[in-house]
């Protein structure tokens, strides 16, 4: 990979220092994850004379494919081969170690390029805002995923896996199932993956034997996919615990499931798992699916000051909130789950940069099909010239890797209709702005 980065850097320097007599379309894509690479690929196809630079704050490309996909899912990472071909296109370059906002400002980028597409995703986390959230032993699922994938920002996380036998994971989506699977899967199996060596060593010494996957709503509303659920239910030497009473469907649940095949399949898998007799063994581990609970506060350990020792939950019931939608409301009844590790899988959050309109409520850049709007009013006539958005920054942290393909197609299609004639000599020479701030090799 380093040779690829060196090759791309040299190619970019050579191109930047030459004159652009044909005045091609100059495009900058900020972020080198799936959204960024799909955008670059579609842009190169839509505008055959375009020259595309992909920049990223990390020295290596591929974003969440590299640092977000679980190491035991190599089939999902195969898309890296496709992205590598894009990076090796003679009209495309990758520039690492370039941070938007500090290495270069958004306003500078907009002067350097005809088109700037922001695809840097969501690198922060939502907060619960409940007492005790700052206690040691409480981490976001994103931090934990970055830790076991060897992301530079996560390698120093050092989660305490030795001083507790129980972990609580808040959330029941695919990321929650990923981190639960990593905690429960035999390390002999993980050793054959590309998991970070330091993470594998820590997991080999882990004393965690119980993992609780906790959701505010019921199994009919679980956010995971059938594929992910089937995989975690199939881990060997793991006893699955699901309360059958939680699986009973109300008329409102049945109405929700009627129009959602994936959720119907998830409910079927959970029902089958609940019906199986529980097993016991010397090295047995336990996975508990806990429904209808919302965290009220985190409890502090009496023996380890400043460290979490459990989660105080309020029981919930579902209440209709419009056609086909139910929300969880508290009942005033509470219960505790003791644990020494908490992983919050409650959603990612994008962050704004100077000069960028941002909708703090939705956590996205206001846009019309990928074209950035000047404010959050939603008025599609208030368009920013040459500024676009793609991926989680555009639609919020939802979907799978392939979702970004359709998202990129829409953004590039919108850009096609907004780009007409590119005036000559209207852009600042890029070499004077970025060459001193590019890849550190």
Supply φ then ψ for residue 65, to 5 degrees: -65, -35
Is pLDDT larger for residue 412 or for residue 424? 412
pLDDT of 187 above 50: yes
Name the maximum alpha-carbon separation found in the chain. Answer: 74
Contact assessment for residue 140 and residue 125, using Cβ atoms and an 8 Å cutoff:
yes
The tens digit of pLDDT for each residue in 226-262 reads: 999 999 999 989 999 999 999 999 999 999 999 899 9
Buried b (16+ CB within 10 A) or exposed e, 228-258: bbebbbebeebbbebeeebbeeeeebeebbe
Give the pLDDT score at 417: 61
SS3 307: strand
CA dihedral 226, 232, 235, 238 (to 10 degrees): -120
Q: What is the CATH number of domain 2-123+350-437?
A: 3.40.50.720
pLDDT of 301 above 90: yes
pLDDT of 7 above 70: no
What's the chain's average pLDDT? 88
SS3 134: coil
pLDDT band for position 428 (50/70/90)?
A: low
Is pLDDT larger for residue 215 or for residue 20? 215
pLDDT of 264 above 80: yes
Domain ranges of the chain: 2-123+350-437, 128-344
Pairing of strands 348-349, 124-125: antiparallel
- Give me the half-sphere count of Cα atoms (radius 13 Å) on the Cβ side of residue 26: 23
Give the pLDDT score at 283: 64
- % of the chain exceeding 70 in pLDDT: 88
The tens digit of pLDDT for each residue in 11-61 reads: 443 444 333 334 689 999 999 999 999 999 999 999 888 999 999 999 999
Question: Directed axis angle between helix 141-149 and helix 174-184, to 10°?
Answer: 50
- Read out DSSP for 327-393? EEEEEEEEEEEE-SEEEE-S-EE----TT---BTTTTB--EETTEEESSTT--TT-EEEEEEE-THH
Residue 241's contacts (CB-CB under 8 Å, 6 or more residues apart) are 278, 286, 287, 288, 289
Q: What is the CATH number of domain 128-344?
A: 3.50.50.60
pLDDT band for position 418 (50/70/90)?
A: low
Nearest alpha-carbon partner for 97 in 67, 41, 55, 141: 55
pLDDT band for position 421 (50/70/90)?
A: very low
Give the pLDDT score at 265: 96
C-alpha to C-alpha distance for 259 and 194, rounded to whole angstroms: 38
> Running DSSP on this structure, what letter comes out for residue 437?
G
Give the pLDDT score at 437: 35
C-alpha to C-alpha distance for 365 and 357, rounded to whole angstroms: 6
C-alpha to C-alpha distance for 342 and 271, rounded to whole angstroms: 26
Supply φ then ψ for residue 30, to 5 degrees: -95, 110
Question: Directed axis angle between helix 261-275 and helix 251-258, to 10°?
Answer: 130
pLDDT of 422 above 50: no
Nearest alpha-carbon partner for 50 in 4, 101, 116, 104: 116
> Average pLDDT of 319-336?
91
């Amino acid at each position: 990979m380093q040779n690829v980065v060196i090759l791309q850097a040299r190619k970019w320097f050579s191109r930047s220092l030459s004159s652009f007599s044909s005045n091609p379309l100059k495009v900058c894509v900020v972020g080198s994850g799936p959204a960024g690479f799909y955008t670059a690929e579609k842009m190169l196809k839509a505008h055959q004379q375009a020259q595309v630079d992909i920049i990223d704050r990390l020295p290596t490309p591929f974003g969440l494919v590299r640092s977000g996909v679980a190491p035991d899912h190599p089939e999902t990472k195969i898309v890296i081969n496709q992205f590598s071909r894009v990076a090796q296109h003679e009209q495309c370059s990758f520039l690492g170690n370039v941070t938007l906002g500090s290495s270069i400002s958004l306003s500078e980028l907009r002067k350097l390029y005809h088109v700037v597409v922001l695809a840097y995703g969501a690198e922060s986390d939502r907060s619960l805002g409940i007492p005790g959230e700052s206690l040691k032993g409480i981490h976001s699922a994103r931090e934990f995923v970055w830790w076991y994938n060897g992301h530079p920002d996560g390698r120093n996380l050092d989660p305490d896996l030795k001083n507790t036998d129980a972990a609580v994971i808040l959330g029941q989506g695919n990321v929650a199932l990923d981190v639960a699977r990593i905690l429960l899967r035999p390390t002999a199996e993980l050793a054959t993956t590309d998991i970070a060596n330091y993470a594998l060593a820590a997991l080999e010494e882990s004393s965690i034997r119980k993992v609780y996957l906790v959701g505010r709503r019921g199994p009919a509303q679980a956010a995971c996919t059938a594929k992910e659920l089937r995989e975690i239910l199939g881990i060997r030497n793991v006893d699955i615990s699901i309360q059958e009473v939680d699986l009973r469907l109300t008329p409102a649940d049945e109405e929700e499931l009627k129009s959602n095949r994936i959720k119907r399949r998830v409910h079927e898998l959970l029902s089958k798992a609940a019906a199986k007799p529980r097993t016991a063994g010397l090295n047995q581990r336990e996975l508990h699916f806990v429904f209808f609970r919302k965290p009220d506060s985190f409890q502090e350990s009496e023996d380890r000051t400043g460290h979490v020792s459990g989660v105080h939950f309020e029981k919930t019931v579902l209440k209709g909130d419009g056609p086909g939608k139910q929300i969880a409301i508290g009942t005033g009844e509470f219960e505790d789950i003791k644990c020494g590790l908490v992983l919050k899988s409650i959603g990612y959050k994008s962050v704004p940069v100077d000069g960028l309109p941002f909708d703090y409520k939705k956590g996205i850049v206001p846009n019309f099909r990928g074209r950035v709007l000047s404010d959050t009013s939603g008025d599609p006539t208030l368009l920013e010239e040459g500024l676009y958005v793609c991926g989680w920054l555009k639609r919020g942290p939802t979907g799978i890797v392939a979702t970004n393909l359709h998202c990129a197609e829409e953004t590039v299609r919108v850009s096609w209709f907004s780009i007409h004639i590119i005036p000559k000599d209207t852009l600042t020479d890029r070499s004077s702005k970025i060459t001193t701030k590019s890849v550190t090799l």
